[in-house]
């Protein structure tokens, strides 16, 4: 189970491909990987043809919750009612009972459940994704199957969400990793459970690139037209535009606007429209269509001088391509996403630009200075550490699953594997 549910999110597609590649690397090429998806089944099969996709637990819960939304009741009560009555919905119709039989059969026969992702358990998505995950965890406990939660972002959370997560982890999860130091602290995990993002770590799909001198050609940019919770404000667009104007005044380079998602998921095209209609049309910006292949973006990043992006995986893939990336945040959802992003660049003091702190000249100066001093070799070293971590993690999952145990690797074992930053 994981982030990709059939939506047009480039980052989630990258995560899915990386997880399947790592599982096949650890378990063998003939491993049968079954992935739960909510919608867009044919598109999911196109993205990862070597995996099998099922419209099962997530789709069933989503369907039931949408039915209950017609009730004239506050949203929290609708969510509670959906959670309590969901088991009844699973046996209410012949079609549901058939799906439940398949779920039980697959759970009984599987080696393990691997729950991966980006931010699907953070506050905006918690209520939607936790119920079907919880039912799968219970089934795995009933059948004695180990459960692993891969390195992802678990916050920001409310106090009760944090309590629910801790209880689930303690009672139903065999082992867990997190990609964010705030999440490690929030969930009271040992320090050695702090990993990097799985896309950044996946040298199986994205090999380490040799050092190269970046051409002073163009700067990659991305601004999320929405952050899944709300649309970006005019003030945020204007601040981003002013930063671009200040950057162009210093670097005299054109910009290339890349899109990490389709408009149905998160509209990344709106920045260009704002620039053209609000007095910034003189800033040279070329807009690219939504990307299909990670390799296309990595090759693009290898030709760029730098990246300024609100997209986490836009930043990550830029650095995979040898290009320095400066994250842009706005409010707590994005602030949380980038709290320890400096690790990814090998501790090179990456500037984090906030659209809530209007000072475009200062932001542009920090970006230019970072681009100038950036050393790609330090990011490569971070990726080498990340790859050693993730390889050891997947091998431990394979070994524990094959042995039918839930033994956790010790901190000393991960130090030997090159975990320490």
142-161 pLDDT, tens digit each: 999 999 999 999 989 999 99
Based on the domain organization, do 96 and 234 belong to the same domain? no
Cβ–Cβ under 8 Å, residues 118 and 153: yes
Based on the domain organization, do 355 and 399 belong to the same domain? no
Question: Distance between CA 66 and CA 47 in Å, rounded?
Answer: 27
Q: What is the mean pLDDT of residues 372-378?
A: 95
Mean pLDDT score across all residues of the chain: 88
CA distance to 123, 192, 228, 308, 314, per residue, from 303 (Å): 37, 35, 30, 15, 15
Question: Distance between CA 20 and CA 6 in Å, rounded?
Answer: 16
The pLDDT assigned to 416 comes to 27
Based on the domain organization, do 188 and 251 belong to the same domain? no
pLDDT at residue 4 is higher than 90:
no
Question: Distance between CA 116 and CA 129 in Å, rounded?
Answer: 12
- Placement of tokens 């916050």 in the chain: 155
Cβ–Cβ under 8 Å, residues 350 and 327: yes
118, HSE (Cβ side, Cα atoms, 13 Å):
24
The DSSP symbol for 194 reads B
Q: Provide the β-strand partners of residue 36.
A: 54
Based on the domain organization, do 251 and 172 belong to the same domain? no
- Beta strands of 214-283 (E only): which ranges? 219-222, 255-257
pLDDT in tens, 199-252: 999 999 999 988 888 999 999 999 988 756 678 889 999 999 999 999 999 999
Based on the domain organization, do 33 and 140 belong to the same domain? yes
CA distance to 57, 58, 267, per residue, from 89 (Å): 11, 13, 35
pLDDT in tens, 19-30: 999 999 999 988
Asked if residue 112 is part of any domain, the answer here is: yes
Expressed as residue numbers, the domain containing 31 is: 10-205+387-416
The pLDDT assigned to 261 comes to 76
β-pairing verdict for 175-178 and 219-222: unpaired
Based on the domain organization, do 224 and 78 belong to the same domain? no
Based on the domain organization, do 246 and 313 belong to the same domain? yes
Based on the domain organization, do 187 and 233 belong to the same domain? no
pLDDT over 70 for what percent of the chain?
92
pLDDT at residue 47 is higher than 90:
no
pTM summary value:
0.90
Based on the domain organization, do 183 and 224 belong to the same domain? no
Q: What is the mean pLDDT of residues 135-146?
A: 94
pLDDT in tens, 337-363: 999 999 999 999 999 999 998 899 999
């Amino acid at each position: 189970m994981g982030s990709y549910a059939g939506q047009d999110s480039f980052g989630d597609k990258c995560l899915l491909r990386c997880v399947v590649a790592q599982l096949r690397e650890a378990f063998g090429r003939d491993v049968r990987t079954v992935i739960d998806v909510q919608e867009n089944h044919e598109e999911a099969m196109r993205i990862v043809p070597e995996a099998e996709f099922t419209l099962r637990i997530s789709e069933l819960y989503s369907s039931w919750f949408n039915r209950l939304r017609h009730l004239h009741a506050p949203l929290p009560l609708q969510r509670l009612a959906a959670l309590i009555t969901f088991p009844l919905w699973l046996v209410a119709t012949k079609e549901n009972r058939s799906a439940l039989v398949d779920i039980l059969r697959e759970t009984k026969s599987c080696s393990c459940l691997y729950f991966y992702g980006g931010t699907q358990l953070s506050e905006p998505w918690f209520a939607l994704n936790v119920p079907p995950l919880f039912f799968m965890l219970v089934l795995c406990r009933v059948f004695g199957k180990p459960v692993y939660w891969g390195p992802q972002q678990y916050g920001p959370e409310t106090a009760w969400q944090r309590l629910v997560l801790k209880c689930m982890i303690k009672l139903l999860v065999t082992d867990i990793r997190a990609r964010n130091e705030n999440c490690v602290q929030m969930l009271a995990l040992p320090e050695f459970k702090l990993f990097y993002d799985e896309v950044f770590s996946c040298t199986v799909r994205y090999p380490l690139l040799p050092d190269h001198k970046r051409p002073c050609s163009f700067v990659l940019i991305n601004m999320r037209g929405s952050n899944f919770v709300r649309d970006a404000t005019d003030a945020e667009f204007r601040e981003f535009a002013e930063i671009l104007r200040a950057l162009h005044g210093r670097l005299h380079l054109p910009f290339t606007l890349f899109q990490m998602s389709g408009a149905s998921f998160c509209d990344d095209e709106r920045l260009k429209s704002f620039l053209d209609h609000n007095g910034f049309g003189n800033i040279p910006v070329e807009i690219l269509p939504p990307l299909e292949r990670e390799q296309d973006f990595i090759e693009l990043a290898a030709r760029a001088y730098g990246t300024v992006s609100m997209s986490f995986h836009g930043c990550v893939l830029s650095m995979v391509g040898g290009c320095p990336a400066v994250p842009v945040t706005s409010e707590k959802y994005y602030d949380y996403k980038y709290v320890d992003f400096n690790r990814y660049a090998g501790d090179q003091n990456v500037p984090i630009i906030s659209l809530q702190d209007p000072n475009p000249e200062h932001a542009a100066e920090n970006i230019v200075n970072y681009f100038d001093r950036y050393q790609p070799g330090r990011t490569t070293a971070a990726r080498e550490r990340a790859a050693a971590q993730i390889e050891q993690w997947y091998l431990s999952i394979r070994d524990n699953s094959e042995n039918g145990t839930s033994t956790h690797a010790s901190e000393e074992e991960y130090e030997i594997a090159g975990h320490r930053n």
